[in-house]
């Protein structure tokens, strides 16, 4: 199984701000301020749009992961299934030590997102193909994967807009997913690969929301 | 591959035992050859070996001589073995040991029979052992070595499969072959029950050749060298689980192994959710075995190998069924250019995507294959085969296969008998005449070789569709047409068409789209039904009615009616628009023949005729018609003069407006009719008139009144109370209007019962009420009724209802109060008074007549002591008690005397120490002292009391310094209920009691002053003792014992007047008699016999 990676558990995963932690009145006021500022500042507007889209994808990614696992049979489909040690070569991992994450510059932060979602767009297509070959009788899961792919493309475009607004030079994309390697995987490897992609995709969206929250606070002020 | 020198040596060693059978002739020393052993590998040459001692081993050699074909052949050899040809029978072999210089040292001669030469095939060599990891198969190849034998032989091969490094045998099979004088490569394969990657597998073989006519031993060859297929060696980085992505049938037994690094160990291996015990295969491999696997879900069953310290690996197993035999394979053609085969795949295989069932349709005659399309929806499987121009018969075979099996189904068809045309299109309808239509449609396909049967459905509203079959010759992709006859004019039709093969019906095509078409109009078939009536006012106008023609007879839209009136010479005609169904013709007193013609767009109908002549009719009766289930039944007498039928005319509404006139005509021979109409309503009265049609005109025969269904009256009759007396009520009511009767009125029901107008109380007139009375008035001419036998001054509730055959109508209620009955009241008072008076008089007379007896019984002047229980002391008590002073005469000293002044007949009692309520009720005592009049001396002298006072030892509860008369009632009380109040206070009860208070009271009540005689009687003796203090029939009671003391003497009778005891003290005998408790009724009856 050349694609598998075994990862340690020592990395810190930035968690998105919990919406319920913000008092309602303060949240409303903040939202109003954001909108008012966003209307005036194209940079803030782009960040706000990217943030909203990331939040939407974050909610979808949770559902996607659950739907994916439930379709793979036990033990994937058992409640609480999680194998954090499972990884896959090429799938961008979101885990990053906090000081490193906090110390990222805007350009580095945004380029990291761009690279990650470029990879995820390709991997989501691979996962969709895998699932279509494994069990084509799950049209809902296939539709979710296709929808996630389209939305990732939208998020990429939105991030490009933010980068353009901030004057960040786009970085080089990730190496393309090796098609031969993808097709040679066994069924079990495909299932695991799909799990890793969906899991890390969800984690990356959390990191993106956190990144955009940071940028929003920075450029709204 | 036969390594001859080495094998020969081995065989020599293996045949040591033959030496014992050899005849040897030793001619030397220990260097002499001995123990000759001979074997053969090919039945041609045998290899012999022997033993010989060689002390120095310096150039020692052997001369080996044997006889071959009569010639002695000798060979020298340094080895202790030699090859010699096999001859039939025995072979004499002479072996001489030579030293280095060639000098014989010893010679041995052996006679070797053929049977002592063992046949041992050469050791086989494995050419190749090839694994197929995907199928877990081992493919073995080796040469049979047949070239060694110039003839055919049967060979048997034994193959062993060994597993693991320890070479555990897991399979041993026997393989048979035939050797055909040449070397042949044999092959054998074996399917492992464990993935070949899991552990190493090794194979070795040996053979046994069976030559039937060979006399010597035949033995197995040596095992071939082992050839091993090594298992998968785990990667340095990743573990693996085998087999990978395997597809197996349901019920298979599976083995899964997990390969891992040596620094890892397996925590568990799970099949789905279940963990299985681990089978240790090697340092880096363990396995689980799963028996009888069941069908997996669409994504397969996961086998999960969990490794420690961390890591997971796994594989997926797809378990399903082999394809079912295709069921209901059907092949047909729509257009005769392609054959389409469909089938039911049967049981689902539970295998999907690349593992699903695929199909191949092949035609055996032409050898061609069709094109199949398989969909996830199993009902969408279809194969298409192109029709061959020169072929009509097709033998199809449909093969179904998936990774776990394959099946097939066959079908042979004649293409011309499997024509299922497509749905006709471009369907059009055109008209030709009022009764004809032309239809055409398009049908794709090449039908030149066959005829088509097409079915045209002709449907119109409110009728069953008709089918018209048309046979047409087939063409190539063209339109077909047909003509439809016998249609009805001016009728909206709906057409559609479908087709099939005419000669060999297989299936109908689908129906084409529907087309609507309305045929052309035609003149009406007949004239309308007509009726006429002279107007009731004046009779100068004749009103003519006609009924609209039914659609089937109108043949079009009627836009007018032409009404003509033919007088002798003149014709009066007018055209009435279709919206009207009647018209008036002014005739005066004349009559005419009337004709009515209906006109539509295509022409006029034949005329309908009727005469206006009305024949006189006598004695026309009005009958009530019987309403049957289907209509109103009318009968009449047959009349021979009737030659143009009977007509029953009625009105559909009560007002009989022109538009509501209806009629029905019956033939001349009819004598009855049932008039039905959907417009008849229940509860509505209809009037029918029966006319006879004669040559000279119409004659009214009878009138009929009837209901299609009778209902209960709609309203209640109005009624009033005309008159009321103490025992009757006269009620009057009014008729109910005919329209409210809703049926023929049968009568009235008058309910009445006692009851007051109280809405809270339940209605009295409900059925089952006990006081409810009903009067049924069936005489409809009666409009009043008198209700009799009522009670005076009583409220009655009246309720009047009308009823018909359809039920009882609503009620109308009244409350009426009857007048008071004074005579009865008087009688009711007088009778009890009179009875009471008579009873009093009779009682008085009886008492007067029996006064002597009463007195003697109840109030004797001198009581008989023998009858007195007061004197019946207990014997045992009185005996020996000389101090008994019951009748002892003692001076009676009043305690106190109170003088009352009486100014009236009833003296008032003043305050006194002796409170004597009895004083007021003691007129006899007063009477006894009438001379003193104003003074009443109430005295009593219980000397015992004085003694009691003086004798403190006496029980204080008994003694009292005062004697108080109790009330007469209180005196009686203990006698009436002696048991209830036995503890009456002695202070108030002990002492004198008057004995005649009952009669005294009675006299007093009647204000009757006692006479002198009476006073004597009443003032007589009275027992003075407290009756409670006396023993009332219970001499043993404690009270009687207490009365045994000296104080008990106060109970002795004492005359008031004399104030002395009238009865002197008796001796003990007298005292032993039972006590008399006095004059109470109870004691009277209790003591009479013993006295």
> What CATH number has the domain bearing residue B506?
2.60.40.10
Which pLDDT does position B106 carry in this prediction? 84
Which pLDDT does position B889 carry in this prediction? 56
Which pLDDT does position B762 carry in this prediction? 54
Neighboring chain A residues of B244 at a CB cutoff of 8 Å? 186-188
B582/B437 same-domain check? no
Is B272 an 8 Å CB contact of chain A? yes
B80/B186 same-domain check? no
Which pLDDT does position B897 carry in this prediction? 57
Nearest CA in chain A to B243: A186
> Measured between alpha carbons, how far apart are the two ends of chain A, in Å?
49
Which ipTM did the prediction report? Answer: 0.82
> Do A187 and B300 lie within an 8 Å CB cutoff?
yes
Does B1090 reside within a domain?
no
> Do B310 and A4 lie within an 8 Å CB cutoff?
no
Neighboring chain A residues of B298 at a CB cutoff of 8 Å? 134-135, 137-138
User: From the candidates A187, A189, A190, A196, which should be mutated to test the interface with B, based on the most B CB atoms within 10 A?
Assistant: A187
B449/B543 same-domain check? no
Which pLDDT does position B1015 carry in this prediction? 41
User: From the candidates B235, B242, B316, which should be mutated to test the interface with A, based on the most A CB atoms within 10 A?
Assistant: B316
Angle at B288 between CA B286 and CA B290, to 5 degrees: 165
Nearest CA in chain A to B376: A137
Give yes or no for residue A157 having a pLDDT over 60.
yes
Topology (CATH) of A42-219: Growth Hormone; Chain: A; (1.20.1250)
* Tokens describing residue B98: 């030579």
Nearest CA of chain B to the CA of A61: how many Å? 21
B389/B475 same-domain check? no
Nearest CA of chain A to the CA of B428: how many Å? 44
Q: Helix crossing, B968-976 with B997-1005: angle to 10°?
A: 130
Is B263 an 8 Å CB contact of chain A? no
List CB contacts of B542: < 8 A, sequence separation 6 or more: B532, B533, B534, B535, B565, B584, B585, B587, B592, B594, B612
B542/B620 same-domain check? yes
Nearest CA of chain A to the CA of B351: how many Å? 9
B698/B579 same-domain check? yes
> Do A1 and B304 lie within an 8 Å CB cutoff?
no
Q: Please provide residue B832's backbone torsions phi and psi, each rounded to the nearest 5 degrees.
A: -65, -35
Task: Match 């008729």 to its residue by tokens.
Answer: B735
Collapsing DSSP states into helix, strand and coil, what is residue A192? helix
> Which of B64, B84, B118 represents a domain boundary (last residue)?
B118
Give yes or no for residue A44 having a pLDDT over 90.
no
> Do B353 and A85 lie within an 8 Å CB cutoff?
no
Q: How many domains does chain B have?
A: 7
* Tokens describing residue B1083: 């004691």
Which pLDDT does position B620 carry in this prediction? 85
B312/B379 same-domain check? no
Q: How many beta-carbon pairs below 8 A join chains A and B? A: 76
Confidence (pTM): 0.57
Neighboring chain B residues of A132 at a CB cutoff of 8 Å? 353
Range of the domain at B700: 530-707
Reference B817, options B935, B914, B939, B727; nearest CA is B727
> Which of B72, B91, B118 represents a domain boundary (last residue)?
B118
Is B723 an 8 Å CB contact of chain A? no
The residue ranges of chain B whose pLDDT is under 70 are: 1-30, 54-58, 234-238, 376-379, 536-538, 626, 758-768, 863-1091
> Do A4 and B238 lie within an 8 Å CB cutoff?
yes
Of B304, B316, B376, the CB nearest to A187: B316
* Tokens describing residue B553: 């007879």
Which pLDDT does position B352 carry in this prediction? 87
> Do B238 and A132 lie within an 8 Å CB cutoff?
no
Which pLDDT does position A15 carry in this prediction? 45
B622/B639 same-domain check? yes
Is A78 an 8 Å CB contact of chain B? yes
Which pLDDT does position B228 carry in this prediction? 93
B537/B468 same-domain check? no
Does B393 reside within a domain?
yes
Instruction: Give B270-276 contacts, CB < 8 A, sequence gap 24+.
Output: B270/A75, B270/B302, B270/B303, B270/B304, B270/B306, B271/B301, B271/B303, B271/B317, B272/A73, B272/A74, B272/B301, B272/B302, B273/A74, B273/A75, B273/A78
The continuous run of DSSP H or E covering B384 comes out as: strand B382-386
pLDDT in tens, B855-891: 888 877 776 666 655 555 554 444 444 444 445 555 5
Give the B window 306-365 contacts with A, CB below 8 Å: 310-316, 318, 352-354
B557/B662 same-domain check? yes
Give the A window 181-210 contacts with B, CB below 8 Å: 186-188, 191-192
Nearest CA of chain A to the CA of B356: how many Å? 10
Does B39 reside within a domain?
yes
Neighboring chain B residues of A133 at a CB cutoff of 8 Å? 353-354
Neighboring chain B residues of A75 at a CB cutoff of 8 Å? 270, 273, 302, 304
In chain A, domain spans = 42-219
Reference B625, options B668, B689, B698; nearest CA is B689
Neighboring chain A residues of B270 at a CB cutoff of 8 Å? 75
pLDDT in tens, A203-218: 999 999 999 999 988 8
DSSP B32: S
Is A218 an 8 Å CB contact of chain B? no
Reference B343, options B324, B364, B369; nearest CA is B324
> Which of B178, B200, B229 represents a domain boundary (last residue)?
B229
Reference B504, options B424, B564, B418; nearest CA is B418
Which pLDDT does position A145 carry in this prediction? 94
> Do B316 and A78 lie within an 8 Å CB cutoff?
no
> Do A73 and B296 lie within an 8 Å CB cutoff?
yes
Give the A window 130-159 contacts with B, CB below 8 Å: 132-138
Strand partners, B1026: none
Does B957 reside within a domain?
no
Counts of helices then strands in chain B (DSSP H, E)? 15, 63
Does B364 reside within a domain?
yes
pLDDT in tens, B151-169: 888 999 999 999 988 899 9
Rounded percentage of chain A residues whose pLDDT exceeds 90: 43
Angle at B765 between CA B761 and CA B768, to 5 degrees: 105
Neighboring chain A residues of B272 at a CB cutoff of 8 Å? 73-74
B479/B583 same-domain check? no
> Do B315 and A186 lie within an 8 Å CB cutoff?
yes
B536/B560 same-domain check? yes
Neighboring chain B residues of A74 at a CB cutoff of 8 Å? 272-273, 302
> Do B300 and A133 lie within an 8 Å CB cutoff?
no
């Amino acid at each position: 199984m050349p694609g598998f990676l075994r990862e340690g558990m020592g990395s810190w995963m930035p968690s998105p701000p919990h919406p319920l932690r913000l008092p309602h009145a303060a949240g409303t006021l903040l939202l109003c301020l954001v909108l008012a500022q966003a209307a005036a500042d194209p940079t803030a507007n782009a960040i706000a749009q990217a943030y909203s889209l990331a939040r939407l994808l974050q909610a979808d990614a949770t559902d996607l992961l659950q739907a994916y696992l439930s379709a793979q049979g036990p033990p994937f489909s058992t409640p609480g299934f999680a194998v954090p040690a499972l990884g896959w070569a090429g799938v961008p991992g979101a885990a990053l030590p906090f000081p490193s994450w906090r110390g990222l510059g805007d350009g580095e932060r945004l380029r990291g997102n761009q690279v990650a979602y470029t990879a995820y767009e390709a991997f989501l297509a691979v996962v969709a193909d895998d699932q279509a070959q494994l069990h084509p009788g799950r049209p809902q899961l296939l539709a979710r994967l296709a929808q996630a792919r389209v939305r990732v493309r939208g998020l990429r475009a939105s991030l490009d807009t933010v980068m353009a607004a901030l004057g960040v030079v786009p970085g080089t994309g990730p190496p393309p997913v090796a098609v031969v390697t993808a097709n040679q995987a066994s069924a079990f490897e495909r299932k695991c690969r799909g799990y890793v992609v969906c899991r890390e995709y969800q984690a990356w969206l959390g990191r993106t929301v956190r990144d955009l929250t940071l940028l929003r606070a920075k450029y709204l002020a | 591959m036969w390594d001859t020198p080495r094998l020969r040596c081995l065989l020599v060693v293996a045949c040591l035992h033959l030496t014992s059978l050899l005849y040897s002739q030793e001619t030397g020393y220990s260097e002499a050859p001995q123990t000759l052993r001979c074997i053969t590998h090919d039945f041609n040459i045998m290899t012999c070996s022997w033993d010989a001692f060689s002390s120095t081993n310096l150039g020692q050699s052997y001369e080996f001589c044997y006889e071959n074909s009569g010639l002695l052949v000798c060979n020298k050899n340094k080895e202790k073995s030699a090859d010699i040809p096999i001859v039939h029978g025995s072979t004499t072999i002479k072996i001489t040991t030579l030293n280095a210089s060639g000098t014989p040292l010893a010679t041995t001669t052996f006679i070797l029979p053929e049977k002592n030469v063992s046949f041992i095939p050469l050791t086989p060599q494995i050419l190749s052992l090839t694994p197929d990891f995907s199928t877990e198969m081992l493919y073995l190849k080796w040469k049979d070595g047949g070239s060694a034998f110039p003839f055919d032989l049967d060979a048997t091969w034994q193959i062993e499969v060994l597993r693991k490094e320890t070479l555990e045998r897991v399979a041993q099979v026997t393989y048979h072959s035939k050797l055909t004088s040449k070397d042949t490569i044999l092959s054998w394969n074996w399917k492992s029950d464990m993935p070949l990657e899991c552990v190493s597998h090794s194979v070795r073989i040996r053979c046994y050749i069976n030559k039937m006519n060979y006399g010597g031993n035949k033995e197995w060859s040596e095992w071939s060298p082992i050839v091993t297929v090594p298992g998968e060696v785990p990667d340095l980085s990743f573990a693996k689980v085998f087999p990978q992505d395997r597809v197996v049938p349901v019920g298979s037994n599976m083995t899964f192994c997990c390969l891992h690094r040596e620094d890892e160990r397996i925590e568990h291996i799970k099949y789905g959710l279940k963990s299985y015990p681990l089978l240790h295969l090697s340092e880096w491999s363990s396995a689980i075995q799963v028996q009888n696997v069941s069908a997996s879900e669409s994504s397969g069953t996961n086998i999960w190998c969990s490794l420690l310290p961390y890591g997971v690996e796994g594989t997926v197993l797809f378990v399903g069924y082999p394809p079912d035999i295709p069921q209901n394979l059907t092949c047909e053609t729509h257009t005769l250019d392609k054959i389409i085969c469909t089938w039911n795949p049967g049981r689902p295989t539970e295998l999907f995507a690349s593992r699903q069932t695929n199909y191949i349709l092949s035609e055996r005659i032409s050898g061609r294959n069709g094109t199949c399309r398989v969909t996830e929806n199993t009902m969408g499987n279809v194969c298409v085969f192109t029709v061959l121009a020169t072929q009509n018969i097709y033998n199809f075979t449909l093969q179904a296969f998936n990774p776990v099996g394959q099946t097939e189904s066959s079908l042979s068809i004649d293409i011309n008998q499997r024509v299922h045309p497509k749905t006709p299109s471009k369907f059009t309808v055109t008209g030709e005449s009022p009764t004809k239509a032309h239809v055409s449609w398009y049908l794709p396909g090449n039908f030149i070789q066959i005829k088509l049967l097409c079915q045209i459905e002709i449907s119109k509203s409110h009728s069953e569709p008709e089918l018209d079959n048309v046979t047409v010759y087939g063409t190539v992709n063209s339109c077909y047409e047909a003509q439809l006859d016998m249609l009805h004019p001016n009728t909206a039709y709906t057409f559609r068409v479908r087709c099939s093969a005419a000669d060999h019906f297989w299936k109908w095509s689908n129906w084409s789209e529907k087309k609507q078409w309305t045929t052309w109009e035609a003149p009406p078939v007949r004239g309308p039904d007509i009726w006429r009536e002279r107007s009731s006012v004046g009779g100068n106008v004749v009103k003519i009615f006609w009924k609209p023609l039914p659609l089937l007879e109108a043949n079009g839209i009627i836009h007018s009616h032409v009404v003509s009136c033919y007088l002798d010479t003149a014709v009066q005609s007018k055209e009435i628009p279709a919206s009207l169904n009647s018209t008036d013709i002014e005739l005066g007193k004349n009559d005419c023949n009337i004709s009515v013609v209906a006109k539509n767009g295509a022409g006029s109908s034949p005329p309908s005729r009727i005469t206006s002549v009305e024949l006189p009719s006598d004695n026309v009766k009005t009958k009530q018609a019987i309403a049957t289930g289907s209509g109103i039944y009318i009968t009449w007498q047959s009349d021979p003069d009737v030659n143009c039928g009977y007509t029953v005319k009625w009105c559909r509404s009560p007002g009989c407006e022109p538009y509501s006139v209806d009629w029905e005509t019956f033939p001349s021979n009819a004598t009855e009719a049932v008039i039905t109409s959907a417009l008849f309503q229940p509860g509505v009265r209809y009037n029918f008139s029966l006319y006879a049609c004669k040559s000279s005109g119409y004659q009214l025969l009878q009138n009929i009144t009837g209901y299609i269904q009778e209902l209960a009256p709609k309203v209640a009759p109005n009624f009033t109370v005309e008159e009321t007396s103490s025992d009757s009520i006269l009620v009057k009511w009014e008729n109910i209007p005919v329209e409210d009767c809703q049926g023929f009125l049968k009568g009235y029901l008058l309910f009445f019962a006692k009851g007051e107008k109280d809405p809270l109380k339940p209605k009295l007139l409900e059925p089952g009420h006990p006081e409810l009375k009903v009067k049924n008035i069936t005489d409809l001419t009666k409009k009043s009724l008198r209700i009799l036998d009522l009670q005076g001054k009583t409220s009655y509730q009246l309720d009047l209802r009308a009823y018909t055959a359809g039920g009882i109508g609503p009620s109308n209620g009244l409350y009426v109060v009857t007048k008071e009955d004074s005579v009865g009241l008087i009688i009711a008072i007088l009778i009890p008074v009179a009875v009471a008076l008579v009873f009093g008089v009779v009682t008085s007379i009886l008492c007067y007549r029996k006064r002597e007896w009463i007195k003697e019984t109840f109030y004797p002047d001198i009581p008989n002591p023998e009858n007195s229980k007061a004197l019946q002391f207990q014997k045992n008590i009185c005996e020996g008690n000389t101090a008994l002073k019951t009748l002892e005469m003692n001076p009676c000293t009043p305690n106190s005397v109170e003088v009352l002044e009486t100014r009236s007949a009833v003296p008032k009692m003043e305050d006194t120490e002796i409170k004597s309520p009895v004083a007021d009720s003691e007129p006899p005592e007063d009477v006894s002292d009438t001379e003193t009049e104003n003074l009443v001396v109430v005295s009593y002298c219980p000397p015992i009391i004085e003694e009691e006072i003086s004798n403190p030892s006496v029980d204080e509860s008994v003694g009292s310094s005062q004697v108080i008369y109790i009330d007469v009632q209180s005196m009686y009380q203990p006698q009436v209920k002696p048991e209830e109040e036995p503890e009456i206070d002695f202070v108030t009860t002990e002492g004198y009691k008057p004995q005649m208070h009952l009669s005294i009271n009675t006299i007093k009540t009647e204000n009757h002053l006692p006479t002198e005689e009476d006073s004597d009687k009443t003032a007589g003796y009275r027992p003075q003792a407290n009756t409670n203090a006396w023993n009332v029939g219970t001499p043993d009671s404690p009270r009687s014992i207490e009365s045994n003391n000296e104080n008990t003497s106060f109970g002795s009778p004492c005359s008031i007047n004399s104030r002395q005891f009238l009865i002197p003290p008796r001796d003990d005998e007298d005292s032993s008699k039972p006590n008399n408790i006095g004059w109470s009724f109870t004691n009277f009856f209790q003591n009479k016999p013993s006295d």
